[in-house]
Amino acid sequence: MAKGTVVQKIIDRHFISGNKAPGEPVAIRIDQTLTQDATGTMAYLELEAMRVDRVKTEVSVSYVDHNMMQNGPENRNDHLYLQTVAAAKGVYFSRPGNGICHQVHLERFGIPGKTLLGSDSHTPTGGGIGMMAIGAGGLDVALAMAGQPFRMAYPKVIGVKLTGKLNAWCSAKDVILTLLSILSTKGNVGCIVEYCGPGVATLSVPERATITNMGAELGVTTSVFPSDAGTQAFLKAQGRGDVWSELIADSDAEYDRIIEINLAEVVPMAACPSSPDNIKKISDLAGTKVGQVIIGSCTNSSLRDLMMVAAMLKGRRVNDDVTFAIAPGSKQVLEMISRNGALADIIAAGARILEAGCGACIGQGQSPADGTVTVRTFNRNFAGRTGTKGDQAYLVSPETACAAALTGEFTDPRNLSFACPVIQDAESFLINDDMIIPPPKDGSNVEIIRKPTIGNPPENQPLPDKIDGSVVIKVGDKITTDHIMPAGIHLKHRSNIPVYAKVVFECFTESGSQSFAERAAAVRDQGRHGIIVGRDSYGQGSSREHAAICPMYLGVKAVIAFAIERIHSANLVNFGIMPLTFVNQADYDRIEQEDTIVIDDARDQLASGGMITAIVKRADGRNFAIELAHKLSDEDIKIILAGGRLHCTLD
């Protein structure tokens, strides 16, 4: 067990119950929550289903930042519901246009040493100011708002020791890309990354937040920086210096693993298509033509980032063959660059200005042309996430993105003809919270607006004694929640599960063939159960619990894979689906789509230990047994047996 670390100190302050040994279940108190509109509608519907009058947290905030494109009534319907239910339940409401939840929360609400649970996988951004900020499914966040503890595996702590100082043209984005090249996106479940060492002091809070934000791609529970003089300076500049407290690891802190990164040796990097851990040096990509550049997202849209962009573009012009856009992370950032002249320099260079929100990062507009390389400062480049099939999306720093915009090709910014601008940290930020609506002291008289497109959480049944399953789909490695539940144009249906469920696994539907939803519904209507079979790192990516809710609605009872990522596994449990793993991975190759998988005495087998025996029945009459495993806690098992968390009262 790691001792004397920042992680241990925060857990100790919030510990409720459990065994403080790596991998063992523990329960911790949650101080703050955040939701965003893509996941928030379901979270608040679930909170209402619990009949909670008022949230029990210190601070809860509902942000609208994902679906602001109002093409049809659905998104605005959701916004009205979110605003009124927030007022009724005691939640702050950040209006559309106020900015991305992680950026705004860092600016206006985050407090060192506090716990934050958010219904967005990039909630770990808050680790940049010394919070333990964890992404989770909407139901887990609703439970936290209801005053329930958050249950997690006690973590192993990976210490990342930073030494040295970044050279010109090298950035925090290159630091996290370097770490992704070491740890990859898989194999890190149950770990937390804690940054330490003398190099930490050389990084500002916005730089630290970039690193913790994209730590989500590592598959770890969260990432944390200490709270030090740099944190104090940032909070003071935000007019919130009174919430600062020092939180650093002991000098003799022990970590479960140490990785050393000399910042002086970090070079400009890119995550190449189509995974955040497909890392190459920019120097190896030099000369590759680029057709689109977008700077923004919760990873790289801070004031510091956009001041760098403005300085690089000042007096220069974007290449004629490149379409270039920026999306400020918050209204605060947008207003500050508009007042100091930086926005004018960006516009003069030929940039398009997007709304302060998530937009293009989740496929809400700005899709690239076919066969076009798109260079983005975002955190994910999963295949098709841009909204263009066969896309070629690269993830880079603002410095590298700007270099590509100016030259029309991948260019190592160290080879540009001008010196790297020096960006000073802001001594004071513009404070204007008029787009954050605080809740009334008494919300009992607030009318919660529910337009026709707002549905209810679907009902599930207790786990049956016998699973008579059909393999509705067999997929490969690194299946993301974007593969399972596409965002883009479909995300506006997130509050209407019967409609949204029609596009589950849409990316695997070939023209003229039955969709996953059609096959699963046919199995369900026969009184049988759907089963999904995958390989390694199933369910990585977004915290979108719809990737569990919609398959549950279609009758899926089990997901079987080599490994299932943390947030998705928890979401499966919350909605009564068994997350199981192959004991013998060779069994994956023996199973075909449409095979029957039978689990007799499923309830007893699940409750009696970590092993389950199933029988695979082939269409040709060949039957064979397979062994499946799980690492579910007693609470997890109780939830699945009941048919999901909303049907289960834990002790």
Which one, of 72, 121, 138, lies nearest residue 361 by Cα? 121
Detail the DSSP E strand segments found in 191-288: 191-196, 222-224, 257-262, 269-271, 279-281
Which residue in 14, 60, 62, 66 is the catalytic one? 66
Which one, of 385, 552, 561, lies nearest residue 481 by Cα? 385
pLDDT of residue 541: 86
Distance (Å) of CA 226 to CA 200, 247, 358, 436, 594: 8, 6, 27, 28, 51
Structure tokens at 567: 């947030």
Burial label for 339, CB within 10 Å (0-12, 13-18, 19+), is exposed
Please compute, for residue 489, the number of CA atoms within 13 A of its CA located in the half-sphere on the CB side: 8
Which one, of 81, 104, 91, 13, lies nearest residue 357 by Cα? 104
Looking at this protein, which amino acid is placed at residue 226?
P
CATH architecture entry for 280-415: 2-Layer Sandwich (3.30)
Backbone angles phi, psi at 332, to 5 degrees: -55, -50
Distance (Å) of CA 181 to CA 145, 178, 217, 276, 277: 36, 5, 11, 9, 6
Share of the chain above pLDDT 70, in %: 99
- What is the rounded CA–CA span in Å between residue 209 and residue 555? 40
Q: Is 275 one of the annotated active-site residues of the chain?
A: no
Helix (H) or strand (E) holding 321: none
Burial label for 107, CB within 10 Å (0-12, 13-18, 19+), is buried
Share of the chain above pLDDT 90, in %: 88
- Has domain 6-265 been given CATH number 3.40.50.720? no
**CB atoms inside a 10 Å sphere around CB 412:** 18
Q: Is 171 one of the annotated active-site residues of the chain?
A: no
Which residue in 204, 274, 537, 542 is the catalytic one? 542
pLDDT of residue 318: 98
Determine contact, residues 628/583, Cβ cutoff 8 Å: yes
Displacement of CA 228 from its chain's centroid (Å): 26
DSSP secondary structure, 83-117, as one string? HHHHHHHT-EEE-TTSB-HHHHHHHHT--TT-EEE
Sign of the alpha-carbon torsion through 340, 342, 343, 347: positive
Q: Is 542 one of the annotated active-site residues of the chain?
A: yes
**CB atoms inside a 10 Å sphere around CB 235:** 23
Helix (H) or strand (E) holding 81: helix 74-89
DSSP secondary structure, 5-36, as one string? -HHHHHHHHHEEEE--STTSEEEE---EEEEE
Question: Which residues, listed in sequence order, are joined to residue 181 by a DSSP beta bridge?
Answer: none
pTM value is 0.93
CATH number assigned to the domain covering 467-647: 3.20.19.10
Report CA Rg, the chain. 24
Distance (Å) of CA 617 to CA 543, 582, 633: 34, 17, 30
**CB atoms inside a 10 Å sphere around CB 605:** 18
Peptide bond into 17 cis (omega under 30): no
Distance (Å) of CA 469 to CA 464, 593, 630, 643: 11, 11, 18, 16
How many residues appear in the chain?
651
Which one, of 116, 110, 37, 41, lies nearest residue 358 by Cα? 37
Which one, of 382, 396, 133, 201, lies nearest residue 290 by Cα? 396
pLDDT of residue 649: 52
Domain ranges of the chain: 6-265, 280-415, 467-647
Q: Is 544 one of the annotated active-site residues of the chain?
A: yes
In the sheet that holds 59-63, the strands lie side by side as: 132-135, 115-118, 32-36, 59-63, 92-94, 436-437
What is the distance in angstroms between the CA of the first residue and the CA of the last residue of the chain? 27
Structure tokens at 199: 């190099």
Burial label for 520, CB within 10 Å (0-12, 13-18, 19+), is buried
Displacement of CA 91 from its chain's centroid (Å): 21
Structure tokens at 647: 């049907």
Q: Is 120 one of the annotated active-site residues of the chain?
A: yes
Which residue in 120, 140, 412, 636 is the catalytic one? 120
Which residue in 380, 483, 529, 630 is the catalytic one? 380
Sign of the alpha-carbon torsion through 210, 384, 376, 79: negative
Which residue in 31, 37, 62, 65 is the catalytic one? 65
- Asked if the domains at 6-265 and 467-647 fall in one CATH topology, the answer is no
Determine contact, residues 606/578, Cβ cutoff 8 Å: yes
- What is the rounded CA–CA span in Å between residue 481 and residue 74? 22
Looking up tokens 């009262």 gives 649
pLDDT of residue 494: 85
Structure tokens at 537: 């790192």
Looking up tokens 């993301």 gives 480
Structure tokens at 37: 């509109």
Note the pLDDT tens digit of each residue in 413-470: 999 999 999 999 999 999 999 999 999 999 999 999 999 988 888 889 999 999 999 9
Which residue in 14, 108, 544, 630 is the catalytic one? 544
In the sheet that holds 25-28, the strands lie side by side as: 15-18, 25-28, 150-153
Q: Residues of the chain whose pLDDT is less than 70? A: 1, 649-651
